[in-house]
Amino acid sequence: MKKLIFFGVLGLFILASCNSTVTHTHNEHDHEAEGHNHATEDHDHSAHGDESGERHSHETAGSHLETTEAHSDEIILPKVKAEAAGVKASIIEPAPFQQVIKTSGQVLAAQGDESVAVATVAGVVSFRGKVTEGMSVGNGTPLVTISSNNIADGDPVQRARIAYEVSKKEYERMKALVKNKIVSDKEFAQAEQNYENARISYEALSKNHSAIGQNITAPIAGYVKSILVKEGDYVTIGQPLVSVTQNRRLFLRAEVSEKYYPYLRTISSANFQTPYNNKVYELQALNGKLLSFGKTAGDNSFYVPVTFEFDNKGEVIPGSFVEVFLLSSPMENVISLPRTALTEEQGSYFVYLQLDEEGYKKQEVTVGADNGKNVQILSGVKAGDRVVTEGAYQVRLASASNAIPAHSHEH
């Protein structure tokens, strides 16, 4: 009985070992099949070139990214559009420049180029035709008529005529009597004096007299600067009526702060900008010259006056307040650009470099002295750079709306 049990247990052990062997063999076959499948997959990858394709794709993308980054700051503006917008560029070259003192001032009429028509009699004013400020007048052009017909003292010309005629008769009578010693030489001299005074007065008044009153004419040829009376005003003898200016020579009076007083001796010329047309004028081009500078400040001012004289070509208005750029000590080999080359953004200044025919680059610069037309550049650009000098804002607009991909632009 014990033997049967032993052989039964041994049989079960052998059967279990056989099953384990078969299962392992099957698993090994499966692993080999899987290995074959992996090899097949490797073969498929190689056959389709996926790995090399992926590597090529990554390399191409990396190269494309580098190109895009290299051109990310370039602004594209086609040549045709740039010409239509008036964009112009120039190569920077060092040149002489001058130190600048920036201040304010006023344009004044030069001495001798302005005159005032005054009333020669007392009376009521009436204008001859249409007299307006700025109109051109010739020497002797009628401006105003003064009527004294309704004045209590009467017409001064008529009174002067009567006085003249009376004194003339008295003088002629005395002249005949003095020969016969009927009147003394002293009495005759007094009669002669009265006659001459009356004659001078009458001739002066009757010179421009008419039936409607006394005519007041322009004392010089030029332009009416200001009208000092209104229609119907009563005026007295010597009262100013109309100011006339020739505008041939003008004064530029600049007010300079006391802190610049040591530099006033170095000032040679000036530029100034008018508020009505924003144009910058150079005194050197207007035959200008420095007349004088004050040795002390005014009683109620902390500014020292500096005065220039220059030709007026008909564009500058006497009396206008202007921005003045006083030109002082010279400097050599200075890089400067026209004001039109600069754009401002939040207190910083930028220019645009032209890289090629259609490519531009925005460049920040540090500015120095400003003479109204050109600005000294301290840093940001160098000699030999091609910089946009006109139409900089058009390039700036192109940078904001440029839709052309940078890498598609061929250099």
Structure tokens at 367: 């500015």
User: pLDDT tens digit string along 332-368?
Assistant: 999 999 999 999 988 899 999 999 888 899 999 999 9
Confidence class of residue 89 from pLDDT cuts 50, 70 and 90? Answer: very high
Residue bearing tokens 């207007």: 286
User: pLDDT tens digit string along 41-83?
Assistant: 444 444 344 444 444 444 443 444 343 344 557 888 888 888 8
**Residue ranges per domain, the chain?**
83-108+249-400, 113-154+208-245, 155-204
Q: Picking from 22-26, 107-111, 121-125, 246-250, which range would have the lowest pLDDT averaged per residue?
A: 22-26
CATH number of 155-204: 1.10.287
Q: Which CATH number fits domain 83-108+249-400: 2.60.120.590, 1.20.140.10, 2.40.30.170, 2.30.42.10?
A: 2.40.30.170
Q: How many angstroms from the chain centroid is the CA of residue 161?
A: 60
Gap between the Cα atoms of 139 and 179, Å rounded: 47
Gap between the Cα atoms of 58 and 65, Å rounded: 10
At residue 104, does pLDDT exceed 90? Answer: yes
Gap between the Cα atoms of 393 and 388, Å rounded: 10
Q: Picking from 193-202, 229-238, 394-403, which range would have the lowest pLDDT averaged per residue?
A: 394-403
Handedness of CA 74, 80, 81, 82 (dihedral sign): positive
Name the range with the highest mean pLDDT among 34-38, 62-66, 81-85, 104-108. 104-108
The class of domain 113-154+208-245 in CATH terms is: mainly beta
Confidence class of residue 300 from pLDDT cuts 50, 70 and 90? Answer: low
Range list of β-strands (E), 190-347: 209-210, 213-217, 222-227, 234-235, 240-245, 249-257, 269-273, 280-282, 289-293, 303-311, 321-334, 336-338, 343-345
Among candidate residues 368, 274, 356, the one with its CA nearest the CA of residue 315: 274
DSSP tag of 219: S
Q: Residue 387: its pLDDT value, please?
A: 94
Among candidate residues 206, 155, 195, the one with its CA nearest the CA of residue 171: 195
Mean pLDDT of the chain: 78
Which ranges in 285-363 belong to alpha helices (H)? none
Gap between the Cα atoms of 358 and 352, Å rounded: 12
User: pLDDT tens digit string along 121-155?
Assistant: 888 899 988 888 878 888 888 899 988 776 666 67
Which ranges in 71-155 belong to alpha helices (H)? 79-84
Of 401 and 241, the structure prediction assigns the larger pLDDT to 241
Which pTM value belongs to this model? Answer: 0.56
Cβ-proximal residues to 401 (8 Å cutoff; 6+ apart), any chain: none
The residue-averaged pLDDT of 183-200 equals 87
The residue-averaged pLDDT of 361-376 equals 92
